[in-house]
């Protein structure tokens, strides 16, 4: 048996999604990962907007009935634009998985967006996630991204 035959990930097709709330980049590779090839660069314009541009009806601060100063929670539990973007990415990944374009998946995103993204992946996509990296690497060069993939 060759050394590659002993490795269960030998020469499998891998997708690497590197994302944040403003951009997603999708790469493909073969395992073991030595280099990645970018196949999608999808900016999310609404993810770059300031909260004041997205949440125009949200109150900032006010005065309570007793004349005291109140501050309202300025950050929603889940930003609707982040949810929408994560859902779009999940749909794209599910379609690619269904078409047999990848065997395993690596997710790389800042912690908060990674959680939203994982919540919007199908159970079949979640089952093939080989690694999750909670870092913001979306603007890094492919060589720098590869250094964080340990498969």
Q: pLDDT (tens digit, 9 = 90+) per residue, 67-123?
A: 544 444 444 467 899 999 999 999 999 999 999 999 999 999 999 999 999 999 999
Residue 23 belongs to a domain: yes
Helical axes 80-98 vs 111-119, angle rounded to 10°: 60
pTM higher than 0.95, yes or no?
Answer: no
Q: Which domain holds residue 38?
A: 3-48+78-146
CA separation for the pair 27, 100 (Å, rounded): 15
CA separation for the pair 86, 57 (Å, rounded): 23
CATH of residue 130: 3.30.420.60
Alpha helices, DSSP H only, in 38-146?
45-48, 51-54, 80-98, 111-119, 123-127, 142-146
Q: Which residue has the tokens 């913001």?
A: 136
The total of structural domains in the chain comes to 1
Residue 58 belongs to a domain: no
């Amino acid at each position: 048996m060759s050394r590659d035959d002993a490795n269960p990930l030998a020469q499998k097709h891998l997708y690497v999604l590197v994302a944040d709330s403003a951009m997603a980049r999708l790469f493909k590779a073969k395992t073991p990962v030595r280099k990645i090839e970018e196949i999608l660069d999808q900016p999310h314009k609404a993810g770059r907007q300031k909260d004041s541009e997205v949440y125009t009806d949200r109150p900032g601060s006010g005065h309570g009935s007793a004349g005291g100063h109140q501050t309202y929670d300025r950050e929603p539990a889940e930003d609707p634009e982040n949810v929408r973007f994560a859902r779009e990415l999940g749909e794209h990944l599910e379609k690619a998985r269904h078409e047999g374009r990848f065997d395993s998946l690596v997710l790389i995103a800042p912690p908060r967006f990674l959680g939203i993204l994982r919540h919007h992946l199908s159970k079949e996509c979640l089952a093939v996630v080989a690694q999750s990296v909670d870092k913001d690497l979306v603007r890094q060069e492919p060589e720098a991204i590869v250094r964080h993939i340990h498969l």
